Structure 1
């Protein structure tokens, strides 16, 4: 979704509920800090909203929710949620980022800070969430050290925390963790492969003589 589409949902949400401020907690909250991100990282068509002043009115947003006439007309929709929908680090409300001004008729959007958003995605751990976090890391939108710091402030049990820690590390060090399939001679001797493609490339770059030796045989 583009920011203008998020603005449209906020504008409609304000008209329906009379609320002047909403919290955006899904992937569209990236528009708070990065309003011009390319569409390919924001592939969802829903805006997860909480009415920040009168939470009970959040349910009214079903009028512009999934399969509503609004959705059928424009191709995107509001998804009314609550604060328990996402698993977030302590203090996340104090880090909310204001959506830059747009055509919202004065309705304000408060967006998750990108690292808080990433933690919520790691906690959910659906395939689409992990694709999203990988893109955040690849594009330099989030940083490993900050994510690990926030992970320690996230209310999850130890097993989930360790799983999330591993996934964070994987997103930032994926190339180093790709195992090369064992060679036939290793299999025959019962040895386990210990190298990675990344390391083999480094060896080749550091020892160009190896390549020339191979060329002579």
Structure 2
């Protein structure tokens, strides 16, 4: 995926949801802060979005733009409508988003989760693809370990899950 495709996803999801603002919180949110992110971070063909003002429209997005939809088959990527509550994000994430404005229609906005917040969320999920994504962010010096640790500490998650994520980040820091 690239920034132009992200903007296309924003335009399409805003149109379908009848909301002019979206929150982008999956891995492709990295394109908000780093439009030219390394290709290893842009492998996903899925954009996770939640309408900011009409959260109930996630199913409309998923139905019209989701996996195996005509949109997916036509454009080679898809938009996954997901409630923002499914992501475990650090406190204050809303103030740190990166605004992406669709170049074809300036009325449509995507608020991409900031890189450290995205990394914290990925480590809470702790799937292999998520830890690889965070490892790449660290290796590319796109995030700072100390900031990541601070964000993990203010993420609302079960104690054991949060501690596992913090231990992982600390081990990575020791090995750098």
Contact map agreement 2:11 2:102 (CA 8 A) in 1: no
Offset, 1:57:
1.5
Deviation per CA, 1:109-158, whole angstroms, max 9, x where unpaired? Answer: 10101100000000001010010000000011111111111111112233
Give 2:109's aligned residue. Answer: 108
Give 1:7's aligned residue. Answer: 7
Q: Which has the higher contact order (CA 8 A, sep 6+)?
A: 2
What's the RMSD between the two structures over aligned residues? 1.5
Tell me how far apart the structure 2 counterparts of residues 104 and 167 of structure 1 sit (CA, whole Å): 41
Contact map agreement 1:115 1:142 (CA 8 A) in 2: yes
Where structure 1 has 5 or more consecutive residues not aligned to the other structure, the ranges are: 176-217
Deviation per CA, 1:30-76, whole angstroms, max 9, x where unpaired? Answer: 11111111322111111101100111122210211101011011110
TM-score (norm 1): 0.76
Larger Rg: 1
The alignment status of 1:28 with 2:28, answered yes or no, reads yes
Where structure 2 has 5 or more consecutive residues not aligned to the other structure, the ranges are: none
Tell me how far apart the structure 2 counterparts of residues 90 and 69 of structure 1 sit (CA, whole Å): 37
After superposition, residues 59-98 of structure 1 pair within 5 angstroms as 59-62=59-62, 63-98=64-99
Tell me how far apart the structure 1 counterparts of residues 171 and 89 of structure 2 sit (CA, whole Å): 20
Instruction: Give the number of equivalent residue pairs.
Output: 175
Runs (4+) off by over 2 Å? 100-106, 170-175
Moved more, 102-111 or 38-47: 102-111
Tell me how far apart the structure 1 counterparts of residues 171 and 30 of structure 2 sit (CA, whole Å): 22
Tell me how far apart the structure 2 counterparts of residues 104 and 170 of structure 1 sit (CA, whole Å): 44
